[in-house]
C-alpha cells in the first residue's frame, strides 16, 4: 500500500488508461499505434489486479499472479502482431489503416 | 501429479505428446520426406480422437483450476471430431502448397496448440486458466490466418484478426478485474458463492462478455469475421467458424448458467437484444455476398444469433439444445466449407456465379453442398431442422414468443440465400461450368464424415436424449 493514496485514485488512473486505450484503438490511423493502444488496455487491467490484491484482499496473491500472466501473454501477443504487421509491410510498404482496405463489407 | 490426474487430463497430455513429437519430427526429418508427415499426423490424431471416447470421471485438479465432467468430456470429443474433419479436408492443401515451402509441420503445431488452448478454456475452473486458454486458442489461429505469407489478403486478414482479438481480450480482462474486485476471488466456485447483483459486477460481467462475444462473432463484435474468413486459408476459416466458435459458445454457456447466474435478470435483456441484432444483421448482409467464404461467414454470424436463443433460457433444456445445435452446426458447416475448399483448391474459384451448373459436372459435390445448406437452413429431413426446432422450443418454454417469431422470420430470410446457392448449382445454366474433377481420398473422407454426421444427428434421436442426460451437470 502507498501512504496517502487510496484505492479510488488508482482506480481512476486505471479507468482513464483503459479508456485512452479504447479511444486510441478506434481513432488511430497507424497499425503500430493501435497495437500500443491494446498494450494500454492490458496494462490497465494488470495494474488493476495488483491494486485490488494489495488494497482489498491482501491474504492471497491471486491478483498478483494474474498480472504476471497478463504481462507474459501480452508480450506474446505483441510479438505475433508485430510479426504479422511486418509481413504486411513487406507487401504494401505501409502500416497505415487506410491501405488495408481491399476487403470491405 | 498422480495417476488420477493423468487420467483426468488424458486428452490434454496426449495432444501435447503429439505436439512434441511433431517438433522432433520437424527437426530431424529429412526435407524430402516431410510429405509423409501429413499421414503420420492424421494417424496420430485419429488415435487421439478414438482414445478420447473412453469414459472420464468427474474430477478437479490443481486446487480447482482445472475441472472435468461428462458434459465437458463430451464436448471435447466433439471438438476432436471437428478438428479431425478439418485436418482431413485441408491435408491436400498442406501437402501440395505448404510442404514444398517447408511449412507443413508448423501448421499442425499451431492448430494443435490452439486446440489445446480450447481444452483448457472449456475445462477451466477459474478466470486465470480461462484467460490463458482463451489466449492460447486465439493467438496460434492469428498466425494461421496470416499463414500464406506471399498473399496480401492473408496478411491483411491476420492483422485485422489479431488487433480485434487483442482489443476483445483486453476489455474482457478489465471485466475480470472488476469481478475480482467485487468478489475477492478468481475461482469460479468462490465467485458463485458471493456474487451479488451490484453495479460493479454488472459492469464487470458485461465487459467480460465482450471477449467471448468476439470469438462467437455476435453482432457488435462481428466486423472481423467476413474479412478474416475471406483472407484466411479455407481450412482455417472453417476451423474458426466451427471449432473456435463452438468452444466459445460452450464456455459462455457454462459461465452464464453457473458463475454469472445471480445476474440472470441483466443477461436476459442483453441476450435478447444481441440475438435479434445478430440474426438480422447476419442474414441481411449474407444476402448480398457473392464470395462463398464471405457468404458462409455471414451465415455463421446468423447461426450464432440462433444459438443465443438457447442461452437465454438458463435451464437444463437450454444446455442440451445449445450443445445439440452446436454439434449439428459443426457438421453442417464443415460439409459446406469442405465443398468450397475442394472447388477452390481444384479450380481457384470462390464466387457463387462460378457454381452455376455444378450439378451437371460434379453431381456428388453438389449433393453434399445441398445437404449442408439444407441443414444450415433447417429443412426437415436433415439434422439442422431438429437443432433449430429444439432451440425455438427451449426459448418458447420460457415465454419468449416474440423472439421466437422474429427468429422464424430470420429462418425464412436465410432460406432465401441458402437456396440461391442451390439454384445456382442445380437450375442455372453456364457456358463453361467447373469441369469434372475427382477429389483426393482425404478430402472424400472428410466430406463423407460430415455428411454422415448430418444424417445421423438428424435421424438417430437417442443421441439427443443422451446429451439431455449429460446436461444436468450445471443445473443441479
Mean pLDDT within B179-185: 90
Mean of per-residue pLDDT scores for chain B: 87
Element at B373 (helix H, strand E): helix B363-377
Distance from CA of A72 to the nearest CA of B (A): 10
Best of B133, B166, B172 to substitute, by most chain A Cβ atoms within 10 angstroms, is: B166
B1: confidence class by pLDDT, cuts 50, 70, 90: low
Residue A58's CATH number:
1.10.287.3510
CB B94 within 8 A of CB B111: no
Distance from CA of A15 to the nearest CA of B (A): 9
pLDDT at B172: 93
Best of A34, A57, A60, A66 to substitute, by most chain B Cβ atoms within 10 angstroms, is: A66
Mean pLDDT within B248-272: 87
Using CA coordinates, name the residue in chain A closest to B285.
Answer: A105
Let me know if residue A105 belongs to a domain. no
A42: confidence class by pLDDT, cuts 50, 70, 90: very high
Q: How far apart are CA B303 and CA B246, in angstroms?
A: 11
Reported as a single tens digit per residue, the pLDDT across B205-236 is 999 998 889 989 998 888 889 889 998 989 99
- Chain B residues with CB inside 8 Å of A35's CB? 163, 166
Sort A82 into a burial class: Cβ within 10 Å, 0-12 / 13-18 / 19+.
middle
Q: How far apart are CA B261 and CA B192, in angstroms?
A: 8
The three cell numbers of residue B361 are 459436372
Mean pLDDT within B20-38: 82
pLDDT at A102: 77
pLDDT at A25: 92
Tell me which residue in B135, B170, B231 faces A103 most closely, judged by beta carbons: B231
pLDDT at B29: 80
| CB contact residues (below 8 A), chain A span 10-69, against chain B | 18, 21-22, 25, 31, 34-35, 38, 41-42, 44-45, 48-49, 52, 56-57, 62-63, 65-66, 69
Distance from CA of A75 to the nearest CA of B (A): 11
B270: number of Cβ within 10 Å: 18
Reported as a single tens digit per residue, the pLDDT across B453-469 is 888 888 887 888 888 88
Using CA coordinates, name the residue in chain A closest to B160.
Answer: A100
B476: pLDDT strictly greater than 60:
no
* Domain residue ranges in chain B: 3-474
Q: C-alpha angle B18/B141/B179, rounded to 5°?
A: 105
A105: confidence class by pLDDT, cuts 50, 70, 90: low
Is the Cβ pair A80, B143 closer than 8 Å? Answer: yes
- Chain A residues with CB inside 8 Å of B174's CB? 18, 41, 44-45, 48
Mean pLDDT within B356-382: 87
pLDDT at B174: 93
A100: number of Cβ within 10 Å: 20
Instruction: State the DSSP code for B96.
Output: I
Q: C-alpha angle B93/B96/B97, rounded to 5°?
A: 75
Is the Cβ pair B162, A84 closer than 8 Å? Answer: yes
CB B253 within 8 A of CB B122: no
Using CA coordinates, name the residue in chain B closest to A92.
Answer: B152
- H helical segments located in B255-315: 264-287, 292-311
Helix (H, G, I), strand (E, B) or coil at B126: strand
B265: confidence class by pLDDT, cuts 50, 70, 90: confident
Distance from CA of A1 to the nearest CA of B (A): 16
Name the residue among B113, B100, B222, B204 with its Cα closest to residue B164.
B222
Name the residue among A63, A76, A70 with its Cα closest to residue A40.
A70
Q: Is B158 on the interface with A (CB under 8 A)?
A: yes
Q: How far apart are CA B148 and CA B152, in angstroms?
A: 8
B190: number of Cβ within 10 Å: 15
Sort B172 into a burial class: Cβ within 10 Å, 0-12 / 13-18 / 19+.
buried
Is the Cβ pair B156, A100 closer than 8 Å? Answer: yes
Helix (H, G, I), strand (E, B) or coil at A30: strand
Number of helices (H), then strands (E), in chain B: 21, 2
Domain count, chain A: 1
| Kind of pairing between the strands at B59-61 and B66-68 | antiparallel
The percent of residues above 90 in pLDDT, for chain B, comes to 34
pLDDT at A77: 93
CA atoms within 13 A on the CB side of B333: 33
Instruction: State the DSSP code for B433.
Output: P
CB B320 within 8 A of CB B386: no
Let me know if residue A2 belongs to a domain. no
Reported as a single tens digit per residue, the pLDDT across A59-103 is 888 899 999 999 999 999 999 999 999 999 998 888 888 887 777
CB B120 within 8 A of CB B49: no
CB B177 within 8 A of CB A45: yes
Q: How far apart are CA B282 and CA B464, in angstroms?
A: 28
Is the Cβ pair B155, A88 closer than 8 Å? Answer: yes
Q: How far apart are CA B324 and CA B386, in angstroms?
A: 9
* CA A20 to each of CA A33, B32, B175, B268, B322: distance values in angstroms, whole numbers, following the listed order: 12, 52, 16, 30, 37
Look up the domain containing A14 and give its range.
7-99
pLDDT at B474: 66
Distance from CA of A71 to the nearest CA of B (A): 12
Let me know if residue A61 belongs to a domain. yes
B66: pLDDT strictly greater than 60:
yes
Is the Cβ pair A103, B230 closer than 8 Å? Answer: yes
Least confident of B176-180, B239-243, B383-387: B383-387
The percent of residues above 70 in pLDDT, for chain A, comes to 98
Amino acid at each position: 500500500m502507498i501512504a496517502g493514496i487510496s484505492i479510488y485514485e488508482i482506480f481512476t488512473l486505471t479507468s482513464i488508461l483503459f479508456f485512452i486505450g479504447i479511444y486510441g484503438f478506434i481513432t488511430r490511423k497507424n497499425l503500430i499505434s493501435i497495437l500500443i493502444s491494446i498494450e494500454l488496455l492490458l496494462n490497465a487491467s494488470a495494474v488493476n489486479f495488483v491494486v485490488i490484491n494489495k488494497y482489498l484482499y491482501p491474504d492471497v496473491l491471486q491478483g498478483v499472479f494474474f498480472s504476471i500472466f497478463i504481462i507474459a501473454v501480452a508480450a506474446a501477443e505483441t510479438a505475433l502482431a508485430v510479426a504479422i504487421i511486418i509481413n504486411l509491410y513487406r507487401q504494401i510498404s505501409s502500416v497505415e489503416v487506410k491501405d488495408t482496405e481491399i476487403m470491405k463489407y | 501429479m498422480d495417476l488420477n490426474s493423468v487420467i483426468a487430463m488424458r486428452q490434454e497430455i496426449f495432444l501435447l505428446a503429439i505436439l512434441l513429437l511433431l517438433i522432433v519430427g520437424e527437426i530431424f526429418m529429412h526435407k524430402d520426406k516431410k510429405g509423409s508427415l501429413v499421414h503420420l499426423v492424421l494417424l496420430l490424431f485419429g488415435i487421439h480422437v478414438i482414445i478420447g471416447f473412453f469414459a472420464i470421471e468427474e474430477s478437479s485438479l490443481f486446487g480447482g483450476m482445472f475441472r472435468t465432467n461428462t458434459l465437458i468430456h463430451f464436448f471435447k470429443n466433439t471438438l476432436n471430431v471437428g478438428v479431425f474433419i478439418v485436418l482431413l479436408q485441408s491435408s491436400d492443401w498442406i501437402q501440395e502448397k505448404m510442404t514444398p515451402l517447408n511449412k507443413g509441420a508448423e501448421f499442425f503445431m499451431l492448430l494443435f496448440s490452439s486446440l489445446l488452448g480450447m481444452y483448457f478454456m472449456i475445462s477451466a475452473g477459474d478466470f486465470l486458466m480461462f484467460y490463458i486458454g482463451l489466449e492460447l486458442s486465439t493467438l496460434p489461429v492469428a498466425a494461421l490466418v496470416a499463414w500464406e505469407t506471399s498473399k496480401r489478403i492473408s496478411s491483411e486478414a491476420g492483422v485485422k484478426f489479431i488487433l480485434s482479438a487483442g482489443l476483445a481480450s483486453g476489455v474482457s480482462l478489465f471485466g475480470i478485474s472488476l469481478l475480482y474486485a467485487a468478489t475477492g476471488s478468481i475461482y469460479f466456485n468462490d465467485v458463485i458463492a458471493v456474487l451479488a447483483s451490484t453495479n460493479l459486477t454488472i459492469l464487470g460481467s458485461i465487459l467480460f462478455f465482450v471477449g467471448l462475444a468476439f470469438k462467437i462473432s455476435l453482432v457488435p463484435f462481428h466486423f472481423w469475421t467476413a474479412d478474416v474468413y475471406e483472407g484466411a486459408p479455407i481450412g482455417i476459416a472453417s476451423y474458426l467458424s466451427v471449432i473456435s466458435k463452438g468452444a466459445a459458445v460452450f464456455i459462455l454457456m457454462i459461465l452464464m448458467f453457473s458463475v454469472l447466474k445471480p445476474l440472470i435478470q441483466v443477461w436476459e435483456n442483453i441476450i435478447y437484444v444481441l440475438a435479434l441484432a445478430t440474426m438480422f444483421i447476419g442474414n441481411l448482409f449474407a444476402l448480398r455476398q457473392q464470395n462463398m467464404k464471405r457468404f458462409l461467414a455471414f451465415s455463421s454470424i446468423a447461426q450464432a444469433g440462433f444459438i443465443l436463443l438457447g442461452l437465454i433460457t438458463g435451464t437444463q433444456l437450454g444446455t442440451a439444445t445449445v450443445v445439440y445445435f452446436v454439434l449439428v452446426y459443426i457438421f453442417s458447416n464443415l460439409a459446406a466449407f469442405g465443398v468450397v475448399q475442394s472447388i477452390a483448391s481444384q479450380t481457384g474459384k470462390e464466387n457463387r456465379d462460378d457454381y452455376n451448373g455444378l450439378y451437371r459436372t460434379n453431381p456428388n459435390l453438389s449433393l453434399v453442398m445441398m445437404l449442408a445448406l439444407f441443414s444450415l437452413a433447417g429443412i426437415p429431413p436433415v439434422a439442422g431442422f431438429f437443432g433449430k426446432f429444439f432451440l425455438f422450443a427451449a426459448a418458447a418454454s420460457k415465454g419468449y414468443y416474440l423472439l421466437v417469431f422474429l427468429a422464424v422470420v430470420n429462418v425464412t430470410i436465410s432460406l432465401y440465400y441458402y437456396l440461391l446457392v442451390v439454384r445456382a448449382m442445380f437450375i442455372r445454366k453456364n457456358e463453361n461450368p467447373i469441369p469434372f474433377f475427382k477429389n483426393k481420398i482425404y478430402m472424400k473422407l472428410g466430406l463423407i464424415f460430415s455428411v454422415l454426421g448430418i444424417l445421423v444427428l438428424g435421424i438417430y434421436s437417442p443421441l439427443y436424449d443422451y446429451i439431455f442426460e449429460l446436461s444436468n451437470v450445471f443445473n443441479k
